């Protein structure tokens, strides 16, 4: 079955530090992968997506993610955390019939 796994339900970083949120997927074929951000009591907003073009994908708010087939990973990074990055982040995969979401990673940014 298609699934995504997010390691670490809670991540804390200092303001200005590197943000790394991990996502691994299980699949025998390259899926289409997405990262979403959710602020409290709001819907999900697309950060970036991988659709078989460049393996390094740049998104909004300075985030980027690298698709690594050999590691079945699609980790999300940002060089320097900002207070406004504090939110819940979800990795998702689209198989064509359904979307599968990870359980989410809550990012806390410490001033």
**Alpha helices by DSSP H, 1-111:** none
> Residues 6 or more apart from 58 whose CB is under 8 A from it?
48, 64
Residue 43 CB, shortest distance to another protein, in Å, is 4
Beta bridge partners of 6: none
Which CB sits closer to another protein, 92 or 109? 92
From the CB of 21, what's the least distance to another protein, in Å? 14
CA-only gyration radius of the chain, Å: 13
Which residue, 73 or 102, is less far from another protein as judged by CB? Answer: 102
Report the interface residues with another protein, using CB under 8 A: 9, 31-32, 34, 36, 41-46, 49, 51-52, 90, 92, 94-96, 98-99, 101-104
**Minimum CB separation from another protein for residue 56, in Å?**
17
Q: Is 36 helix (H, G, I), strand (E, B) or coil?
A: strand
Between residues 27 and 77, which has the closer beta carbon with respect to another protein?
27
- Residue 54, Cβ neighbours under 10 Å: how many? 10
């Amino acid at each position: 079955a298609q699934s995504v796994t997010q390691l670490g339900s809670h991540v804390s970083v200092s303001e200005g530090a590197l943000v790394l949120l991990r996502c691994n997927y299980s699949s025998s074929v390259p899926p289409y992968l997405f990262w979403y951000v959710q602020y409290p009591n709001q819907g999900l907003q697309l950060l970036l997506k991988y659709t078989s073009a460049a393996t390094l994908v740049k998104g909004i708010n300075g985030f980027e993610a690298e698709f690594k087939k050999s590691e079945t990973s699609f980790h999300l990074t940002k060089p320097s955390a900002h207070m406004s990055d504090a939110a819940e982040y979800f990795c998702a995969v689209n198989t064509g019939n359904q979307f599968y979401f990870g359980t989410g990673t809550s990012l806390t940014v410490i001033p």
